[in-house]
Amino acid sequence: MKLAVLGPGALGCLLAALFHEAGADVSLVDYRPERVARLRLQGIQVHTLEGGHRVIKAPIGLGPEVGPCDLTIVAVKAYQTETAARALPGLMSRGGLALTLQNGLGNLEAIARIVGSQRLLAGVGLLGVTRQDEGRIIYAGKGVIYLGAPAGSRVSGMEVAAVADLFRRADLECQPREDIEAVLWEKLVINVGINPLTALLRVPNGVLLQLPEAFEVAVAAALEAQAVAQAAGLTLSGDPVARLRQVCANTAANRSSMLQDILAGRPTEIEALNAQVAARGRSLGLPTPVNDLLTLLLRAAAQSAPFQVG
Ligand code: PAF
């Protein structure tokens, strides 16, 4: 099976490195020729928390160089999906699959607008991986990847199982799920609580447990998201507040992806997270005042960067 991983961020680099080490026919795909040249030269550098360091020379190329693949994994930030999806028609072979392993909602729809929904897979990754620099990542912790065919997809259970096997051969825990949309929402419920609060307050995830007011806002955002999911007909498992607490504790030292984006001056994924909860709540007639406000604050935080003092 020929694979492409679209996007040389933290997750994209990790997947390309692990698939390559496992002997898969994989290429990391980027759209910037200068970065492709640099990454080819330096390889993907994977650091572990135990002090391990490996340089993995997985093939890296522009979309047209890589050509049609049986499976293309979309691993770009949610705000890049629209642009990245334009490479998919050239990367998906006839009958090839596209799998989004991105945060938040809206990615499936953006990809389906370009290549349709029949050959789409959705996934949720709970891996601890952080981008340190271009092509340099920290693989902080193994975690499970859930995969499934979302609404509108015609991908069979056997095909999902084959993709899950591929991940397992690359030493990645992977479980097929029939309720992948609910799994996407379960992660979203956590992200809409932790990500904007840690980004606005510039604190690691665990600190939210020491700041009662901040945690209260995170809980309120998560509960609104849970209510919207339920109103949309999804059944989410577990208690969202307990899960929020547990993720903050388990990832206490982590800087959330949104905090990393703010610190690096990059756009954030607020539009795929809290803004999606707010928009979907609105269309269901469900008020989401906390998610509305957090969306506005994060947009304002991004706009204020050039004017900040100190
Ligand atoms: O986006 C993130 O940073 C992660 O999904 C999570 C779970 C909040 C941990 O930092």
DSSP 8-state assignment for residue 207: G
Cα→Cα distances 124→32, 104, 176, Å: 26, 9, 10
Distance 256 CA to ligand 1 centre (A): 5
Contact partners, residue 194, CB within 8 Å, separation at least 6? 205, 208, 218, 244, 247, 248, 256
Please tell me the distance from the alpha carbon of residue 11 to that of residue 75, in angstroms, as a whole number: 6
Longest dimension (CA), the chain: 56
What is the number of other CB atoms lying within 10 angstroms of the CB of residue 193? Answer: 34
- Cβ-in-10-Å burial (0-12, 13-18, 19+) of 205 comes to buried
What residue type is 241 in one-letter code? V
Tracing tokens 């096997």 back to the chain, one arrives at 165
**By alpha-carbon position, which residue is closest to atom 9 of ligand 1?**
256
Catalytic, 142? Answer no
Tracing tokens 């522009």 back to the chain, one arrives at 62
Distance 128 CA to ligand 1 centre (A): 8
Distance 47 CA to ligand 1 centre (A): 19
Please tell me the distance from the alpha carbon of residue 31 to that of residue 88, in angstroms, as a whole number: 12
Do the beta carbons of residue 131 and residue 77 sit within 8 Å?
no
Please tell me the distance from the alpha carbon of residue 208 to that of residue 201, in angstroms, as a whole number: 9
Ligand 1 binding pocket, CB closer than 6 Å: 103, 190-191, 194-195, 205, 247, 251, 254, 256-257
Superfamily of domain 181-307: N-(1-d-carboxylethyl)-l-norvaline Dehydrogenase; domain 2 (1.10.1040.10)
Q: What is the pTM of this model?
A: 0.93
What is the number of other CB atoms lying within 10 angstroms of the CB of residue 60? Answer: 25
**By alpha-carbon position, which residue is closest to atom 3 of ligand 1?**
256
Q: What angle do CA 256, 260, 262 make, to 5 degrees?
A: 115
pLDDT in tens, the chain (310 residues): 999 999 999 999 999 999 999 999 999 999 999 999 999 999 999 998 788 999 999 999 999 999 999 999 999 999 999 999 999 999 999 999 999 999 999 999 999 999 999 999 999 998 878 889 999 999 987 889 999 999 999 999 999 999 999 999 999 999 999 999 999 999 999 999 999 999 999 999 999 999 999 999 999 999 999 999 999 999 999 999 999 999 999 888 888 999 989 998 999 999 999 999 999 999 999 999 999 999 999 999 999 988 888 7
DSSP 8-state assignment for residue 251: T
Domain spans of the chain?
2-178, 181-307
DSSP 8-state assignment for residue 133: E
Architecture of domain 2-178: 3-Layer(aba) Sandwich (3.40)
Tokens of 35: 């970065």
Ligand 1 probe mutation, 131, 144, 146, 191, most atoms within 8 A of CB: 191
How far is Cα of residue 299 from the mean position of the Cα atoms in its chain? 20
Tabulate helix, strand, coil % of the chain (nearest 5).
Answer: 50, 20, 30
Distance 247 CA to ligand 1 centre (A): 8
The dihedrals phi and psi of 242, each to the nearest 5 degrees, come to -65, -40
